[in-house]
Amino acid sequence: MSIDKDTVKHISKLARISLDEKKISSLSKDLSSIMKFIEKLNELNTDKVTPLTSIINASLKSREDEVKDGKIRDQILKNSPEKNEEFFVVPKVVE
């Protein structure tokens, strides 16, 4: 797949990135070579390859989910510039 200058301009417009003409021709060549490499990778036969999630052949140990309070609410609220009883007060973000 070859990516021409018009495609690069379209992509930069969608991404809201401004590019000058020098960079457009360079990016066009770079993106084309990346797409050719991806096409080569897609040709590989991976039918007998098992998916790899980790290089270590071990499973994670399970544990029970426990709710822990931590008993440090007062210490945490000391860091707040403003609080209301046991809650942080934050400025309104959405109007």
CA–CA separation, 27 vs 11, rounded Å? 11
Global pTM reads 0.50
Question: What is the radius of gyration, based on Cα positions, of the chain?
Answer: 27
pLDDT tens-digit series, residues 8-53: 999 999 999 999 888 899 999 999 999 999 999 999 999 998 888 7
CA–CA separation, 35 vs 32, rounded Å? 5
Helices H, strands E: what count in the chain?
3, 2
3-state DSSP assignment of residue 84: strand
Q: What does the pLDDT average to over 62-69?
A: 88
Domain limits of the chain?
A: 5-42
